[in-house]
Structures are given as structure tokens and as C-alpha cells.
């Protein structure tokens, strides 16, 4: 009887660990901003880290203007952006808002702009991105998976 209980418990743990997929896996790959020659690419480094970049391609050369990451730090997820020629070269962190159910929301109310970055998957091939601050500065765009 003890053996059956142990086997059942092992099966439950094994099936749970295999079916658990990191929710940020949806970011993985290259995304093209609709109507522009701009891209965002994400690579999964581990279950706790994704790295990425925003860039354009001009005259067959990749021009990276933003280094990105999504990392789990001390049990919480953070989106970090380091924008070329902004914030004195410092990376800015945005905390993942787990309560937001409309998408992947990252906030930093102390930052001048943006205060929130929201990725909203429409389906597996289209992602809507909202860059939010004061009403006048906010904008959004669609990205298509390449």
C-alpha cells in the first residue's frame, strides 16, 4: 500500500513539473512592429531569465537601441530596459504586476516615462504592446511573430 501511495505521489509531481510552462515563454522569438522596420527579439536563458533587444535594420545592419530582460529576482519578476542614450546609461526596472489579468504588465510608478509597459498577446502570432505614462505620452503598437 505504501508503494502505491509513493508511486501515485511521484506520478503527480512528475506530471505537474512537466506540464508547468513558464508564462513568459510567449515572448520567445522575434517580433516585428507592424508597419515599421523595427523588431524585438527574446531568448529564454533559463526558467528564471529571458533576454532581449529592440532594434531596427538599416542598410543591412542591425541597430540595437534597447537591451531588455525579464528576470526572477528574489522571488519576483522584473522587466529591465536599458535604452541607448537615455537614463545616463542606467537600466530601469519595472515590476511584474501579477494582479493584471489583461496581459503581462510591468510597472515603475517612480520612472518619468514610461510608468507601465503592457504586453497583451492577441494570439500566438500577434502581440499588442502598450507603453504608458501620462496620457499625452502613451502609445501602443502591434507586433507580429516572425
- pTM, rounded to two decimals: 0.83
Environment class of residue 17 by beta-carbon count within 10 Å: exposed (0-12), middle (13-18) or buried (19+)? exposed
pLDDT reported for residue 77: 97
Phi-psi region of 9 (alpha: psi -120 to 50; beta: other; left: phi over 0): alpha
Q: How far apart are CA 51 and CA 79, in angstroms?
A: 10
**Residue 9: helix, strand or coil by DSSP?**
helix
Instruction: Give per-residue pLDDT as tens, 79-98.
Output: 999 999 999 889 999 999 98
Instruction: Give per-residue pLDDT as tens, 44-84.
Output: 999 999 999 999 999 999 999 999 999 999 999 999 999 99
- All structural domains of the chain, each given as residue ranges with its CATH number in brackets, are 24-145 (2.40.128)
Higher pLDDT, 40 or 12: 40
Instruction: Give per-residue pLDDT as tens, 90-145.
Output: 999 999 998 888 899 999 999 999 999 999 999 999 999 999 998 788 999 999 99
ω into 41 cis (within 30 of 0): no
Amino acid at each position: 500500500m505504501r508503494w502505491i501511495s509513493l508511486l501515485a505521489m511521484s506520478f503527480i509531481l512528475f506530471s505537474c513539473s512537466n506540464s508547468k510552462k513558464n508564462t513568459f515563454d510567449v515572448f520567445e522569438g522575434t517580433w516585428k512592429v507592424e508597419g515599421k522596420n523595427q523588431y524585438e527579439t527574446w531568448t529564454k536563458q533559463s526558467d528564471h531569465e529571458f533576454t532581449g533587444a529592440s532594434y531596427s535594420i538599416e542598410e543591412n545592419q542591425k541597430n540595437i537601441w534597447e537591451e531588455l530582460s525579464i528576470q526572477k529576482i528574489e522571488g519576483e519578476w522584473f522587466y529591465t530596459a536599458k535604452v541607448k542614450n537615455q537614463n545616463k546609461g542606467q537600466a530601469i526596472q519595472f515590476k511584474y504586476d501579477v494582479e493584471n489579468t489583461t496581459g503581462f504588465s510591468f510597472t515603475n510608478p517612480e520612472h518619468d516615462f514610461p510608468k507601465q509597459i503592457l504586453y497583451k498577446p492577441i494570439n500566438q502570432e500577434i502581440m499588442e504592446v502598450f507603453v504608458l505614462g501620462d496620457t499625452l505620452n502613451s502609445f501602443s503598437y502591434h507586433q507580429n511573430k516572425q
